[in-house]
Structure 1
Amino acid sequence: MYATRSVHSAQSAYRENAVATASPARLLVMLVERLVLDGERALAAQQSGDWPAAHQHLLHAQDIVVELESSLDVDRMPAGRQLLSLYQYLRGCLVEANVKRDPAKSEEALGLARQLCDTWREAAMAAAIQ
């Protein structure tokens, strides 16, 4: 039992340190990676009929998208308005997937989240190279 708590404590400390020392680009990638994970977990929960778990994962995914929206400076970023529209559409899909218990909407949201994740990873790598 002590070993389990010790391992959990070490994992928590590692995660906190990783977030505290990450660059803004890496933080963004970490955020969209978690968005994908929440989408995967929500879809799996919906497919197994675990609606409370699906609800929690979809809510967390919505919170992430709201954070992405609020941190976006649409006037300074090229194509910022288009990205904001994409975030808003994604959030709408997540809400609909949750309210209607619709796995198809979860799949759509997950596909968008994966594309965003891939795009932000590529952008972060390109920025790191420069």
Structure 2
Amino acid sequence: MTTPNLRDRYLQDSINTASPAKLLIMLYDRLILDLTHSEEALRKDDRELAHEKISHAQEIVLELRVTLNLEAWEGAPGLANLYGFILTELIGANITRDPDRVAGCRKLLEPLRDAWREAAVAGAQG
């Protein structure tokens, strides 16, 4: 098996065996990474890479939105609205090639990622 195949297999195994909390954190980590890379690409006028990363970020936000159980807790509808806002901003950023809009989305999502990470740790500790 080649190195790329081993890496892909490892990643797939990591996803398949991850807890729901770990999967959520993995999604947020990748989302933040995509936003960081797209912001950098826009600042360097690399439109192709920026579009690719923003599009992938949009897919992640959509996944987070559709899997959100609105009945699970009272904050869920607000989070759903935030995801809708983020999607609108990312679409606008992609059209206008605005790195500041991407940065604004990242700044909104980083504290959420950190909060989910802290909640997962607290849940794992009992």
TM-score by length of 2: 0.95
User: Post-superposition shift, 1:109?
Assistant: 0.9
Secondary structure in structure 1 of the residue aligned to 2:2: helix
Aligned position for 2:21: 25
Q: Using the alignment, how far apart are the partners of 1:76 and 1:107 within structure 2? A: 30
Q: Which moved more, 1:32-41 or 1:113-122?
A: 113-122
Q: Using the alignment, how far apart are the partners of 2:80 and 2:119 within structure 1? A: 17
Q: Using the alignment, how far apart are the partners of 1:79 and 1:67 within structure 2? A: 18
Over 6 Å off, 4+ runs: none
Q: CA RMSD in A?
A: 1.1
- Report how many aligned residue pairs link the two structures: 126
Aligned position for 1:83: 79
Secondary structure in structure 2 of the residue aligned to 1:42: helix
Q: Using the alignment, how far apart are the partners of 2:46 and 2:39 within structure 1? A: 10
Q: Using the alignment, how far apart are the partners of 2:93 and 2:101 within structure 1? A: 5
Aligned position for 1:96: 92
**C-alpha deviations, 1:63-93, integer Å up to 9, x for none?**
1001000001112223111111111111111
Paired letter, 1:49? D
Aligned position for 1:116: 112
Equivalence map 1:1-130=2 (5 Å):
6-130=2-126
- Give unpaired runs (5+ residues) of structure 1: none
Q: Which moved more, 1:77-86 or 1:49-58?
A: 77-86
Q: Using the alignment, how far apart are the partners of 1:39 and 1:20 within structure 2? A: 25
Q: Which moved more, 1:75-84 or 1:51-60?
A: 75-84
TM-score by length of 1: 0.92
Q: Using the alignment, how far apart are the partners of 2:9 and 2:26 within structure 1? A: 16
User: Post-superposition shift, 1:126?
Assistant: 1.2
User: Post-superposition shift, 1:20?
Assistant: 0.4
